[in-house]
Amino acid sequence: MTPNSQQTFRLRPEQQAIVHGYGGGKLGIAAVPGSGKTFTLAHLAARLISKSGLEPDQEVLVVTFTNSAVNSFRARIAQILTQDYGLIGHIGYRVRTLHGLARDIVHERPALVGLADDFIILDEKETQEIQRNIVTQRLAEWRDALTQYLDPEVDSRWAWRGFEEILPQLAGNFIKQAKDLRRTPDELLALLPSEPANLDLARFAVSVYADYQRSLAYRGAVDFDDLVRLALDALEREPEYLERLRYRWPYILEDEAQDSSRLQEEMLRLLSGERNWVRVGDPNQAIFTTFTTANPGFLRCFLDRDDVDEKPLSVSGRSAQPILDLANELVRWTAESHPVPALRTTFEYQPHARRGPMRGVIRATDQDDPDPNPPDDTCHIELRYRPDDKIAPLAELDYVISGAERPLLDFGQDAPQDVQETVAVLVPDNNRGYALAEKLRRDHKDVPFEELLRSSTRTRQSVARLLAVLDYLCDPGNPKKLKGAFWAQLSDEWRDLVTADTATTAALTRYFAAAATVEEFLWPRDPGVGTPLPDFAPDYAWVGEELACFQTGVRRWLQVTDLPIDQVVLTIAQDLFDAPADLALGYKIATTLRALANSYPDWRLAQFAEELRSINKNQRRFLGFDDDEVGYAPKPGVVTIATMHSAKGLEWDRVYLLAVSSYDFPSGMSYDRYIAERSFTRFSADGSMIRLNLEAELLAQLDYLVGALLGYEEGLATLEARVERARERLRLLYVGVTRAKRKLIVSWNTGRYAHKGASYGNQPALPLIHLGAYNDYGYE
């Protein structure tokens, strides 16, 4: 469903059964792509708020996966409450990410889990930096023990460089999994036997884990992986606190439940008391499982429980029928005919309703649906799938841009606005997207595009500029903060110019120090004898103009500090920012802080500034300021370049899927290669000629230590990881296909890689070969 259609869309029969039929208890909903699960869950939340008899101090709790979803839910619930029920739009519910909810629980009673009231939460960048430093410090003493994992036939210096690059990631994954298992470093150290030597990788990881936890304790900090564990500890240690939260949130609605981990599910189980718990998700879109703690099996088990009422959301109006047929065929073929039997359980596939609620089959809308599927005659599917139709990586980009039957060049802003399409090029990794963006930027300037790839730090830098001004306004007599506000209001380019010239920098320092007080700087008693502007070099004369403008701006900012926080922020943002993206960010910050003001009417400017600082530095996941999670709306006439992972939840009229090859989408075939089996690691000791997947082997060693495995046999985890990788990539391909509304173009490239002097190339991914034949010839 498109955003516009959601505003006027009436509930379909399936959605009515959920929204109007739910009277409490445990409800599981398996939702296919484009079925309107967020729309349905928002309507259910609004109805519960209106009709379930909530007390004034009770809320419906909505838990979701990303901050963009948090913002979307808030807006939709508020709109429904206002328009459909005539209620105030921001009362009666709370929307949180799982980590945000855990943070709320811990923050309310930090002493229960041994934390100070002012504990801080480190973001992923900070935790990764700490772990990397610990690995570097530890490596010298562990070098001899870890050498056993490297291939003796490759250059040792090259192998160690590669090994050193991945060791922090290995240790980080180990720590995440250990925390999900609620195991401390001391417990793992006690479980480690002195022998055998094939557990040395786990010994190294446990030592890093111990140092890392000591580093967090020294800082008075926790990381994101601690939050859910500590929230569980708090709930288990204080029954009265748990009962109070159960009363506060009598209904819990969980979105994207296929991405929950063991601890996250346990936290919601405790909070719900196994009473009023609604879980919505699609196991077939579980694409975050490899070396993470997410597991779609938890949702599957919930759906299969006898005490859970299951309702389907199987009708989707997003895609034309031929695209739905293609997606359904991918699921059917995998479940019934995949040549690797272990992969036949990849998808939930229950096509016959007589056996229970339908799962894994996308159904088209009825003819009278107000948001019907696009007509078949507007649909175009183009699958380049033949193994002999070889295409080099650069040639694939040319094919998408100009060689396909529906190339990017036939689309652009010359078309009338009302017929412009939304278009996306989806890639399996950021590097492939960067290559396409660079080619368009260099050779095809007439094709407008924007990147939804791994973003830069621009968002956080812009927030930091705004925060510097707010910091000054909280302490307006502080000359140091006044100077910080001046540097913040300079554009990045001008700031670089000033800092590059020592004479100009020194002149500015003397100027700010010359005034006896900030008041003298801003409002001299005798304007004629105020602190004179420095004599800047001719090339820097503009700095004097900036200083004069800054003084005027500060006076204006001080005059608005008594206004509501959103107006204060908007006033400052309009002075600081010129770029549309930064102005939009300023509006988003203003809106977010205004919502906080509604919840905390006693807050003053300093508290809003501190909240913005924690969002930007330590806790930005909770309110949506992470660059990867601010939400995105495709624009007609502009090509979106995105990874398939980041495209989940979005839709476009036309979608190109690139690099659907045996490397990026392995299927358990003999010719497949696996990205985690690196060329510098040695082969398994069993003589199978399988290079060890060290991530998988390390986590298997952890499972053995905690008793989840009866024994550890080297190489088995690598084989199991191959299967899990193939499962996730099948589901990722399914996600990619179901992003397309009318046109779908899929291609692959040979790539090149060398091994022992021989050169090899990729094949088209096995599911692409099948879907290509199915689309062209209609047979299995």
CA angle 569, 572, 574 (to 5 degrees): 105
Measure the CA–CA gap between 442 and 435, rounded to whole angstroms: 11
Runs of H (alpha helix) within 86-223: 98-108, 124-146, 156-180, 185-191, 200-219
- Over residues 587-603, the pLDDT tens digits come to 878 887 887 787 678 88
Model confidence band, residue 686 (pLDDT cutoffs 50, 70, 90) = confident
pLDDT for the residue 454: 53
Which residues in 10-28 are b (16+ Cβ under 10 Å) and which e?
A: eebebbeebbeebeeebbb
pLDDT in tens, 3-17: 333 344 588 999 999
Average pLDDT of the segment spanning 385-405: 90
CA 621/CA 178 separation, integer angstroms: 22
Cβ distance 682 to 714 under 8 Å? no
Which of 729 and 598 is assigned the larger pLDDT? Answer: 729
pLDDT of residue 529 exceeding 70: no
Distance CA 421, CA 446 (A): 16
What integer pLDDT is reported at residue 191 of this predicted model? 92
Tell me the mean pLDDT in the region 405-423: 72
For the record, the structure tokens of 201 come out as 């990788």
Query: How far is the C-alpha of 400 from the C-alpha of 397, rounded, in Å?
Result: 5
Helix and strand numbers, DSSP H then E, in the chain: 28, 16
Over residues 612-623, the mean pLDDT reads: 55
Query: What's the CA gap between 6 and 80, in Å, rounded?
Result: 11
Average pLDDT over residues 290-308: 86
pLDDT band at 736 (very low <50, low <70, confident <90, very high): very high
β partners of residue 427: 643
pLDDT of 759 > 50? The answer is no
Alpha-helix runs per DSSP H in 346-413: 393-398
User: Quick one: pLDDT at residue 542?
Assistant: 77
So what's the pLDDT on residue 289?
57
- For helices 479-489 and 565-576, the axis angle rounded to 10 degrees is 60
pLDDT at site 617: 56
Write down the pLDDT at residue 626: 45
Could you tell me the fold of the domain covering 13-107+228-317? Rossmann fold (3.40.50)
- Contact (Cβ atoms closer than 8 angstroms) between residue 629 and residue 67: yes
Residue 752, pLDDT score: 56
Instruction: Band the pLDDT of 618: cuts 50, 70, 90.
Output: very low
Angle between helical axes of 492-499 and 541-559 (0-180°, round to 10): 130
Residues 320 and 379 sit within 8 Å (Cβ to Cβ)? yes
Encoded tokens for 405: 């039957």
Work out the angle between the directed axes of helices 580-599 and 605-617 (0-180°, nearest 10).
120
Residue 78 CB partners (closer than 8 Å, separation 6+): 89, 90
Q: What Å distances lie between residue 56 and 50, 93, 599, CA to CA?
A: 12, 11, 14
Residues forming beta bridges with residue 654, ordered by sequence position:
423, 743
Taking residues 143-149, what's their average pLDDT?
Answer: 93
Residue 460 confidence (pLDDT): 67
Q: What is the average per-residue pLDDT within 287-309? A: 85
Q: Among 357, 225, 252, 340, which Cα is nearest to 300's?
A: 357
Place of tokens 């009866």: 710
Tell me the pLDDT of the chain averaged across its residues.
Answer: 86
Torsion of CA 568, 570, 573, 578, to 10 degrees: -160
pLDDT confidence of 21, banded at 50, 70, 90? very high
Alpha carbon distance 664, 653 (integer Å) = 24
Q: How confident is the model at residue 528 (pLDDT cuts 50, 70, 90)?
A: low
Q: Enumerate the H helices of 238-365 as residue ranges.
A: 239-248, 262-272, 297-304, 321-337
Q: How many residues does the chain have?
A: 780
Residue with tokens 């009231």: 117
The band of 336, judged by pLDDT with boundaries at 50, 70 and 90, is very high
Q: Can you read off the two tokens belonging to residue 643?
A: 């990874």
Backbone angles phi, psi at 558, to 5 degrees: -65, -30
Residue 515 is classified by DSSP as: S
356: pLDDT strictly greater than 90: no
3-state SS string for 30-89:
EECCCCCHHHHHHHHHHHHHHHCCCCCCCCEEEEECCHHHHHHHHHHHHHHHHHHHCCCC
Q: Is 502 within 8 Å of 566 (Cβ atoms)?
A: no
pLDDT at 418 over 70: no
- DSSP string of 603-639, one letter each residue: --HHHHHHHHHHHHHT-GGGTT-SGGGS-----TTSE
Between 219 and 196, residue with greater pLDDT: 219
pLDDT higher at 419 or 292: 292
- Going by pLDDT thresholds of 50, 70 and 90, the confidence category of residue 774 is very high
Among 197-201, 763-767, 772-776, name the one with the lowest average pLDDT.
197-201
Bridge-based pairing of strands 221-222 and 26-31 is: unpaired
DSSP-assigned beta bridge partners for residue 425? 641, 656
The pLDDT confidence band at residue 625, using thresholds 50, 70 and 90, is: very low
> Greater confidence, 497 or 409?
409
Residue 761: what pLDDT? 77
Over the stretch 170-211, which tens digit does the pLDDT of each residue have? Answer: 999 999 999 999 999 999 999 998 777 789 999 999 999 999
Higher pLDDT: 565 or 459? It is 565
pLDDT greater at residue 60 or residue 489: 60
Q: CA 278 to CA 298: how far, in whole Å?
A: 14
pLDDT of residue 501: 77
Q: Which residue has the higher pLDDT, 149 or 414?
A: 149
**pLDDT per residue as tens digits for the range 70-103:** 888 998 999 999 999 999 888 999 999 999 999 9
| Highest-scoring range by mean pLDDT, 532-546, 665-679, 714-728 | 714-728
CB atoms within 10 A of CB 422: 22
More confident position, 250 or 478:
250
Q: How far apart are CA 174 and CA 202, in angstroms?
A: 8
Comparison of pLDDT for 508 and 620, the residue scoring more? 508
* Dist. CA 680–CA 613, nearest whole Å: 42
Q: Which of 31-40, 503-512, 768-777 has the lowest mean pLDDT?
A: 503-512
The whole-number pLDDT of residue 101 equals 95
- pLDDT (average), residues 204-228: 95
| Type of residue numbered 242 | L
440: CB partners within 8 A, 6+ apart: 401, 408, 447, 449, 639
CA distance 571 to 561: 10
- Per-residue pLDDT at 455: 44
What's the CATH number of domain 320-348+373-456+630-780, 3.40.50.300, 3.30.590.10, 3.20.20.70, 3.40.190.10?
3.40.50.300
The Cα 440–Cα 36 span in angstroms is 34
End-to-end CA distance of the chain: 30
Residue 166, both tokens: 């991945």
pLDDT for 459 equals: 66
Distances (CA, A) of 72 to 11, 511, 740: 18, 47, 21
DSSP state of 399: I
Percentage, residues of the chain above pLDDT 90: 56
CA dist., res. 606 & res. 612, Å (int):
10
pLDDT score at 629: 45
Per-residue confidence (pLDDT) for residue 354, from 0 to 100 = 56
Token pair for 88: 């105030």
pLDDT, position 531: 59
Tell me the C-alpha distance between 595 and 779, whole Å. 55
pLDDT at 653: 96
pLDDT over 80 at 533, yes or no? no
Cα Rg, the chain, nearest whole Å: 28
Q: What is the pLDDT of residues 371-389, one digit of tens each?
A: 899 999 999 999 999 988 8
Confidence of residue 1 (pLDDT cuts 50, 70, 90): very low
The one-letter amino acid at 369 = D
Q: Which residues contact 574 (CB under 8 A, 6 or more apart)?
A: 583, 586
Higher pLDDT, 752 or 698: 698
Sign of CA dihedral 608, 611, 615, 617: positive
Measure the CA–CA gap between 200 and 203, rounded to whole angstroms. Answer: 5
